Structure 1
Amino acid sequence: MTECVPEQAHRQYRNPRVRGNEREDGVPGEQELKTHHSRFRYVLEWVVTLDTAVPDAVNYRSMPRVSNYVFFLGGRLRTVSNTSAHSVLVLTLLVVPAVLFSIFEAQMLWKFGSGHGTLVVLFYYSWAVCLASFIRSATSDPGVLPRNLHVPTVCNDFELPREYYNMITLPSAHPEGRTVNLKYCTTCRIWRPPRASHCPSCDACVMTHDHHCIWINNCVGQRNYRYFLTFLTSSVVSAILCIIGCAIHVSKVSHLRSTVVAILLIVYCVLIMCYPLILLLFHIFATSSQQTTHEFLRNLTSKKAILHSFSSSRTNPFDRGSRARNMLSLACQPRGVSVMSAREKHPTGDWRFLNLPQQHSFEKI
């Protein structure tokens, strides 16, 4: 037997009077609930990445079919699937000294006074920049180019025209009329722009390709080169600051037993600093001659000395006339837009995400 409820009570239950976003009975209104729901979903899509509302035809879901990239957090982070252990090792090498410095050295230096607290602040700042630039260079788009943009129409059985195996020479914007070379990538089926190169580890062509770094598990290219240089510089600076701080601790204390961790950190930082320092010096010399690592290794032959390869070439179409301008133009070059943005949608059957036969034509596919 159902209980009878007055009509007035029904109306009051169905349509309570709302003041702003809150009803008379203190329960949040419908508009406020929608606002909270949208904010909650926004946070989830950025942190947990519940891409339930995103269709399957999204770049980060299709790119693993034609490259070695794998994506996390809805395409916001990427890495190469086959060499991930090296980047985990580097991350561990970065975190361990910071933890030891925080536990054993930071408080001691802060108590010493006389400006030693500034050293602690500088160390944490440079270390934070080092960690952020490492993550940024390791997980961002280096400048990957799309595939299958220049698929030729041929009548022979899956054969490319012979001219596609040649190198095209075009004039550059250099005032002396120097030329640039364009080459067709038979793997990606595109005419690569100048300074782009195909990376076999990533299985993709990258704009202004410098090299593939196993330590960040990503290519270093046009869109993350500045982050890579920042990572090298800040790692060296952080190691130097840690060495100075630990040396101050050792000099201030007479009992060596209390400085065991400080001595270990000094030895650790000296050893760990060598490789990024050498790599940073190499990039300083390479950028001063307007060369990427790929171009330097390509120009380095048994007939040329290493120092000669670092000198400015008269045939380099990208030379700016001085070493300072060369360094600034490469290290501070515009990142440009991501031509293969992982979060962009694409139509079903997009040729950029198809694995075409090695020798192909429109008629035979």
Structure 2
Amino acid sequence: MNTRYLYLVALSLIIIPSIFFASFVIPILYVRVGYYFIIPWAFLLVSSVNTLLVARSIDPGYLPRVIKKSIDDTTVDMPLDNNNNSNSNSTFLDIETVSSDNINKALDTNPSSSSDSISSFEQQQQQQNPNNIPIKKKKQSKKTININGESITIFYCKSCNIYRPPRCSHCSECNRCVMEFDHHCPWISNCVGKRNYRYFVYFVWSAVGLSIMTMASSIVTIIKLTNEQGSFVSAVAKSPVALLLAGYAFLLFWTLIGLGGYHLHLICKDVTTREDTTDLSKV
């Protein structure tokens, strides 16, 4: 199923009821109550729409793919150590499609060790392959690296041609590897990952608040009209939209409150949905 434009449906589920609310409920509510309900409702409406669009448009944390070239490639593990101290912790870097340009770019963050690393690499390659015959080395499906004194197993992604860093996963829907991948949300037509997770949570809770304010305002409107008209039936006849919006907001509230509560639970545990549902240990 193509979910590319499903976020427009989510927007419609927010904006269309809000138009009816502003057209039929706010005029009645303002005369009898004032701005007490209208101002927070308007704020939550703007917040819901804004955070949805931001979560939809922002990069969730995609990792760049490595495009395979026509020449054979290999993989080199190079320790990057700014202090040149053999006892310090080192982080290993994957370099795909090895060339001098790629190596220089990869070692820009550590110029002091770049010349030694390149020289050592070239000598090793010359000894193993004196005739400079292209050699293709098969990628390992996983390997172990050292991060802050801990041995971490990372896995190779055949689709993106990279070794995925810890807490990164490949999204089958987007066909990209995402840092701190949480899940793919069809309602925002985007992955939820490291860079847009906060906006996704803001959106969920803004929508919860909007549904509460819509429901409360509609109920207050019906109560005020009931007192004026003398019966509930007369009040509903005068403003049927208020009753419909109260029911709609109630359904929206119960749909989202569980999701919002679950993500607060994940935030407290400092894990993602994927890690929680698959029982993966966090690095």
Show the 5 A alignment for 1:25-40: none
> Are the aligned partners of 1:209 and 1:222 in contact in 2 as well (CA < 8 Å)?
yes
Question: Could you say which residue in structure 2 is the equivalent of 1:239?
Answer: 211
Question: Could you say which residue in structure 2 is the equivalent of 1:263?
Answer: 243
Distance 1:167 1:266 in 2: 55
Question: What amino acid is aligned across from residue 131 of structure 1 in structure 2?
Answer: V
Question: Could you say which residue in structure 1 is the equivalent of 2:50?
Answer: 132
Question: Could you say which residue in structure 2 is the equivalent of 1:103?
Answer: 23
Structure 2 gaps, min length 5: 67-93, 99-133, 227-233
> Are the aligned partners of 1:208 and 1:221 in contact in 2 as well (CA < 8 Å)?
yes
Distance 2:11 2:37 in 1: 23
* SS of match in other structure, 2:153: strand
Within the candidate set 78, 83, 87, 2:3 is matched to 83
How high is the TM-score relative to the length of structure 2? Answer: 0.69
Distance 2:194 2:282 in 1: 18
CA offset digits 1:26-78 (Å, max 9, x no partner): xxxxxxxxxxxxxxxxxxxxxxxxxxxxxxxxxxxxxxxxxxxxxxxxxxxxx
- Tell me: CA distance 1:152–1:118, structure 2 relative to 1, closer, same or farther (3 Å): same
1:147 is displaced (CA, Å) by 0.9
1:296 is displaced (CA, Å) by 1.2
Distance 1:180 1:105 in 2: 58
1:316 is displaced (CA, Å) by 4.2
Within the candidate set 188, 200, 203, 2:172 is matched to 200
How high is the TM-score relative to the length of structure 1? Answer: 0.55
Distance 1:226 1:267 in 2: 29
Distance 2:95 2:203 in 1: 36
Question: Could you say which residue in structure 2 is the equivalent of 1:170?
Answer: 146
1:179 is displaced (CA, Å) by 5.1
Show the 5 A alignment for 1:35-46: none
Question: Could you say which residue in structure 2 is the equivalent of 1:186?
Answer: 158
Distance 2:143 2:56 in 1: 32
RMSD over equivalenced CA pairs, Å? 2.2
- Count of residue pairs brought into register by the alignment: 213
Within the candidate set 17, 38, 44, 1:120 is matched to 38
> Are the aligned partners of 2:167 and 2:282 in contact in 1 as well (CA < 8 Å)?
no
Structure 1 gaps, min length 5: 1-80, 301-314, 318-365
Give yes or no for the alignment of 1:160 onto 2:142.
no
Question: What amino acid is aligned across from residue 98 of structure 1 in structure 2?
Answer: S
1:118 is displaced (CA, Å) by 2.3
* SS of match in other structure, 2:159: coil
* SS of match in other structure, 1:262: helix
Distance 1:103 1:299 in 2: 48
1:170 is displaced (CA, Å) by 3.0
Quick check: 129-138 or 143-152, which moved more? 143-152
Question: Could you say which residue in structure 1 is the equivalent of 2:224?
Answer: 252
- Tell me: CA distance 1:179–1:273, structure 2 relative to 1, closer, same or farther (3 Å): farther
